[in-house]
Structure 1
Amino acid sequence: MRVGIASPVVTQVPGVHSEWERTAGIEELGRIAETADRLGFHHLTCSEHVGIPREVAEQRGATYWDPLATLGYLAARTTRIRLATQVLVLGYHHPLEIAKRYGTLDRVSGGRLVLGLGVGSLEEEFALIGAQFEGRGSRADDALAALRASLSQREPEYHGEHYDYAGFVVEPHAVQARVPMWIGGRTLRSLRRAAKHGDGWVPFGLDTAQLREMLAKVDLPADFEVVLSAGRALDPMGRPEAAEAALAQVREAGATLIGAQLRARSADHYCEQLEALAGIAAGID
């Protein structure tokens, strides 16, 4: 069973993150990434928000580390684990900005980038940075097609409804021949978008019955990743049977890859929890 981790520290949602994360920094995160890398975890994550309205932060949290800076640092401290943006908001960037910035990350990490991408839902944040909120779904579809045509290309060319370019050199660019693109969302439309443009789907806020129902309605490409969360933070040392059951449940729901959050008292305890979780996941195989 392949398991990745929803990185602690970089995103702090009220009621979800652990108290120690409030004062943790890059050194603690780096040690956790090194441990996950050594143990063979598939990926670690970093999300994207520029600014959160004060009232929204009470529900979503206010801490969101920048994924490019964070994953660039973690790339230098790891060798195998994949670096996943979960997720970048497509409407905040021109496709070639993503191709250049994250293509450079793919280069410096030795081809370990996974682009998690989403349409976005926070209208205030769109307005803050001058991005267009209305019609964002159509623009996102065009951006995904543009990215697929442009990633890994020195001289990308694309002619679409919202994005149109040719005659530019993007160097450096991604070294993977096909950078994996995982599409986030919680609707059937997001799954269909992922099946059409991407290599995986990263849903959120859905129970196992809803996931099974949606997955049954869409013909998925070969090697398509269904990246499902294991749910509430796992405690593999204190409650190993519950952790094993949570992993098995999401695999039964259709997961090809599982994202896990861990309960911990400190960064050192988190690393110990990773050791325990790796053993549990290996036993399920």
Structure 2
Amino acid sequence: MRIGITSPVVTAVPGVHSPWERGAGIEELGAVAEAADRLGFHHLTCSEHVAVPADVAEQRGGTYWDPLATFGYLAARTRHIRFATQVLVLGYHHPLAVAKRYGTLDRISGGRLVLGLGVGSLEEEFQLLGAAFEGRGAVADDALAALRASLSRREPAHHGEHFDYAGFVVEPHAVQERVPLWIGGRTPRSLRRAVAHGDGWVPFGLPLDRLREMVGAASLPEGFEVVLSAGRPLDPSGDSDGTAKALRGVSEAGATLVSVSLAAESAGHYLEQLEALTRIADAVAAEEGAA
């Protein structure tokens, strides 16, 4: 069973983050990354918001570390774990800006980038950044096609409705021959977009029965990742049965990768939770293999 960690510290979503994270910083996050790397977890996440309206922050939280700076630091402290943007908002960036900045991250991390990408839903932030909110879906589709044509190429070219370029050098660029693109969303359209343009789907806010229905009805390409959240923060050391049940649930819903948030009382306790989660995940995987 492959499991990624929804990184602590880098966001502060009400009801999800633990109190210890409010006083934590890069050293605590670095220790978590090193432990997750050593234990063989698949990826760490970091989300993108530039500026969240104060009233919206009461529900979504207002803390969002910048993924590029965060992952650049963590790349120097780890060797194997991947770094998944979950998600970058396509409308906020020119595709070549993403190709250059995150291609550089892919280079310095030795090919460990996963680009999680989304259409975006926070209209006030679009307006603040001078990005078009109306028609953002069509812009996102063209941006995805542009990224697929441009990542990992020294001289990228794309000719689309919203982005049209050729004859430019982007150096450095990603070292992976095909950087994984995971598309976020919660609608059938987001899943179709992921199948058409990406390598995986990262849904949010959907019950397991609906996820099972959507995944079961889709014609997914070989190797396509379905990255499902295990739900509320898990407590592997305090509730091993509940943790195992949550992992089984998302696996049965069609997950090829599971993203997990962990409850903890301190940074040290978080590291203990990672160890306990590894043991439980191994046991669940063994059960599934024997079935």
SS at match of 1:32: helix
What amino acid is the match of 2:67?
P
Q: How far did 1:13 drift?
A: 0.5
TM-score normalized by the length of structure 2: 0.97
Does 2:135 correspond to 1:135?
yes
For the residues of structure 2 that align with 1:23 and 1:235, how far apart are their CA atoms?
21
Instruction: State how far apart, in whole Å, the 2-side matches of 1:224 and 1:186 are.
Output: 17
Amino acid at match of 2:68: L
Match of 1:110 in 2: 110
Partner of 1:240: 240
- 1:275 is matched with which residue? 275
Aligned residues: 285
Which residue identity lines up with residue 192 of structure 1 in the other structure? R
Following the alignment from structure 1 to structure 2, what is the Cα–Cα distance between the partners of residues 263 and 169? 45
1:21, distance to aligned residue in structure 2 (A): 0.5
Rounded Cα–Cα distance in structure 1 between residues aligned with 2:203 and 2:84: 15
Which residue does 1:258 correspond to in 2? 258
Alpha-carbon distance between aligned partners in 2 of 1:244 and 1:209, rounded to the nearest angstrom: 18
Deviation (angstroms), 1:216: 2.4
Per the TM alignment, residue 217 of structure 1 is displaced from its structure 2 partner at its CA by: 2.5
Q: Distance in 1 between matches of 2:161 and 2:131?
A: 17
- Offset of residue 273 of structure 1: 0.2
- The Cα offsets for residues 94-141 of structure 1, whole Å up to 9 and x where unpaired, read as 000000000000000000000000000000000001011110000000
Does the Cα contact within 8 Å between 2:5 and 2:259 map onto a contact in 1?
yes
Q: CA RMSD in A?
A: 0.5
Q: Is the counterpart of residue 69 in structure 1 residue 69 in structure 2? A: yes
> What residue number does 1:172 align with?
172
CA distance in 1, matches of 2:148, 2:279: 36
CA distance in 2, matches of 1:282, 1:75: 26
Distance 2:156 2:234 in 1: 43
TM-superposed CA distance for 1:215, in Å, is 1.3
1:145 and 2:145 are equivalent in the alignment: yes
Bigger shift: 212-221 or 151-160? 212-221
Residues in 1 aligned to 2:72 and 2:280: alpha-carbon distance in whole angstroms: 30
Deviation at 1:202, TM superposition (A): 0.2
Q: Which residue of 1 aligns with 2:87?
A: 87
Q: Match for 1:149: what amino acid? A: A
The percent identity for this pair of structures is 75
* 1:25-72 CA-partner distances (Å, limit 9, x unpaired): 000000000000000000000000000000000000000000000000
1:215 aligns with 2:205: no
Q: Distance in 2 between matches of 1:186 and 1:243?
A: 24
Aligned mates of 1:51, 1:107 — CA distance in 2:
28
User: For residues 250 and 15 of structure 1, what CA distance do their matches in structure 2 show?
Assistant: 21
Measured after TM superposition, the shift of residue 255 of structure 1 is: 0.2
CA distance in 2, matches of 1:167, 1:232: 48
Structure 1 gap ranges (5+) = none
TM-score (norm 1): 0.99
Secondary structure of 1:227 counterpart: strand
Q: Which residue of 1 aligns with 2:156?
A: 156
**Inter-partner Cα distance in structure 2 for 1:203 and 1:257:** 12
Q: Please tell me whether the aligned partners of residues 13 and 59 of structure 2 are also in contact (alpha carbons under 8 angstroms).
A: yes
Which residues in structure 2 correspond to 1:90-101 (within 5 Å)? 90-101=90-101
Aligned counterparts of 2:248 and 2:218: Cα–Cα separation in 1: 23
CA deviations over 1:138-176 (Å, ceiling 9, x no partner): 000000000000000000000001000000000000000
Structure 1 residue 283: deviation in Å?
A: 1.2
Distance 1:33 1:209 in 2: 32
SS in structure 2 opposite 1:12?
Answer: coil
Note if contact 2:216-2:254 (Cα within 8 Å) is conserved in structure 1.
Answer: no
Tell me which amino acid in the other structure corresponds to 1:284.
V
Q: Distance in 2 between matches of 1:119 and 1:34?
A: 31
Query: In structure 1, how many angstroms separate the alpha carbons of the residues matched to 2:214 and 2:122?
Result: 24
Q: Give 4+ residue runs of structure 1 displaced > 3 Å after superposition.
A: none
Q: Distance between the aligned counterparts of 2:135 and 2:172, measured in 1?
A: 31
Q: Secondary structure at the match of 1:88?
A: strand
Give the match for residue 22 of structure 2: 22
